[in-house]
Structure 1
Amino acid sequence: MKRSQALRTLLGTVLVTSAAGTAEDVFQAEFKRAWKRSRDYTLTTFNLMPEEHMGFKPMPEMFAFRTQFTHCITYTTAQLAGRLGVKDPYADVQGWAQKSKAEIAAELDRFYEWVGTTIAKVPAVQLAKQFDFAGESLTGKQLCYALENHIIHHRGQAIVYLRLKGVTPESYFGW
């Protein structure tokens, strides 16, 4: 490779990297966008179930509809707080089964806001750090994806609950 061609390649790489930002910047921007879509789809799914069916569970050993969502709140915040060294805003919250649909919807909104704000403020070193999770070693970024996957799992179960109650769920929102 000629020197001039090598310099152009190097300069192009520097310009692309500078324009895109660091890998953490790119991750945080992507996560912010995906997290908003997750919030919108989760709240839409949750709000479709009539209030009188918030306690519905297809089988006794399964979570109630409301618990599909409250579990996501408490599990996600506990996992992030414990690994990122931040205070878990839901550590002491109890009585989820007694909360109304509107109260849980408000908590879901606050939860999504807390996670989004927390991840936006996480130092790059924390996103690159390795954490044990479910028997594996994940970076902070991978942990965020794993926790979102957990929410997707429970939201999918909630969609089945809606269908069992004769409620047609919204179509998939996408990325």
Structure 2
Amino acid sequence: MKTQLLTTLENARNYTLGVAAAMPAKNYDFKPAAEVFSFGELLHHIGYGIGWWEENFMRQQSSDWNPPAPASGKEATMSYLEGAFAALKESVEKHATTDKAIAGFYATIDHITHHRGQATTYLRCRGIVPPEYIY
């Protein structure tokens, strides 16, 4: 089971980082509408969400939703995402031993997928073809 979870995680990581890399740095502040996250803020939200969901649902350690200010720029945002995925991988390796932790993992993946889908739409709004979906 752990191998399956790690494979799912690696696919999500690679595709998410591919989507992040596809947007030029100059467009990280792009918003398709005034009331939504910018592309960079959306990716930061994914990264923060990874840690929050992992902490609350995999490790069963309650924490409030209190995201820090978004990373500034493409490089910092991608680094933030890399760190979030690395921490989730470590948590899967250590904590994915109970049904609750495994359910927490899939809730985390669902949150990533939801917002990554939005990010691919942002790319399309800028005339960028998203990377091919990895599964």
Q: CA RMSD in A?
A: 2.1
Aligned to 2:48: 74
Q: Percent identity?
A: 25
Unmatched 5+ stretches in structure 2: none
Q: Whose strand fraction is larger, Structure 1's or Structure 2's? A: 1
Q: How many Å apart are 1:87 and its aligned residue? A: 10
Match of 2:39 among 47, 54, 65: 65
- Say which structure, 1 or 2, has more relative contact order (CA 8 Å, 6+ apart): 2
Q: CA deviation at 1:76?
A: 2.3
TM-score between both structures, scaled by the size of structure 2: 0.87
- Confirm or deny that 1:153 pairs with 2:114: yes
Equivalent residue for 1:103?
76
1:163 partner letter: R
Q: Aligned letter for 2:15?
A: Y
Are 2:105 and 1:144 equivalent residues in the alignment?
yes
Q: Normalising by the residue count of structure 1, what TM-score does the alignment of the two structures yield? A: 0.69
The secondary structure found in structure 2 opposite 1:149 is helix
Q: Structure 1 segments of 4 or more deviating over 2 A? A: 85-88, 91-95
Show CA shifts across 1:42-73 (max 9, x none): 00100111111101111111111112211111
Q: Structure 1 CA distance, aligned partners of 2:93 and 2:62?
A: 15
Which of 14, 17, 25 is equivalent to 1:40?
Answer: 14
Query: Which segments of 5 or more consecutive residues in structure 1 lack a partner in the other structure?
Result: 1-25, 129-138
The one-letter code sitting in structure 1 at the alignment partner of 2:34 is P
CA distance in 1, matches of 2:62, 2:85: 15
State the one-letter code of the partner of 1:108: L
Q: C-alpha distance in 1, partners of 2:94/2:14? A: 22
How many residue pairs get matched? 133
